[in-house]
Amino acid sequence: MKHYSSIEWLNLLSGVVNEEVECELHEHLLECEECLNIYVSLIENAEETHLNSPLSLDFTDRVMNTIHEENRKLQAIKKRKTFNNLIICYVSAACITLFFMSSGIFDFLSKKIPESSTKFSTTHLGSSNLLSNGWTDRLVDKTSSFVNGFTKNK
Ligand SMILES: [Zn+2]
């Protein structure tokens, strides 16, 4: 009885043999227990190899492509939200402006701000004289008395 080599059994496993050879090999497996054992061990090795490397070679590429697609979708959603928020801000600002214009607050401010600024400038000039007269002299007096007290105690 002619036995087949491991390479021929691997070819059968890989599916690279033609139909005629495949039939011969299968018939031989039915008759020969020695070749059947070799064939079964090759199948077990192939399964172990497959289990030890569960990730296919293009796994990283597929994951990265999925991540890029998700990022693109998120960017599109963010752009839409930003545009909607911008429109809401403009509409809100327009509503607030219209409200202030209808209540006359801008007229009130345009009349009152010049009056109050002239009042502030006249009163501020007087208070600046008061401030400059007092605090520097008092600071010098306090400091010199502290230094004098410190040197006398020594
Ligand atoms: Zn055999």
Where along the chain do its domains lie?
A: 6-54, 74-153
Q: What is the pLDDT of residues 83-112, one digit of tens each?
A: 888 899 999 999 998 888 888 888 888 888
Ramachandran sector of residue 17 (left: φ over 0; alpha: ψ -120 to 50; beta: rest): beta
Q: Compute the distance from residue 38 Cα to the ligand 1 centre, in Å.
A: 9
Of the chain, the end-to-end C-alpha distance in Å amounts to 121
C-alpha 10 – ligand 1 centre gap (Å): 14
Q: How far is the CA of 23 from the centre of ligand 1 (A)?
A: 14
Tokens representing residue 126 in the block: 């007087």
Rounded Cα distance, 80 and 10, in Å: 56
- With CA atoms as reference, report the closest residue to 6 among 46, 43, 42, 48: 42
CA of 49 from ligand 1 middle (Å) equals: 25
Q: Which residues surround ligand 1, an ion (CB under 5 A)?
A: 3, 32, 35
Confidence check: pLDDT of 46 > 60? yes
pLDDT at 2 over 60: yes
- The pTM of this model reads 0.36
Name the residue with higher pLDDT: 146 or 127. Answer: 146
CA–CA–CA angle 118, 120, 122 (5° rounding) = 70
- Ligand 1 center to residue 37 CA distance, Å? 9
Strand (E) or helix (H) holding 28 = helix 19-31
Spatial CB neighbours of 82, under 8 Å, sequence gap ≥ 6: none
- Residue 13 near residue 43 (C-beta atoms within 8 A): yes
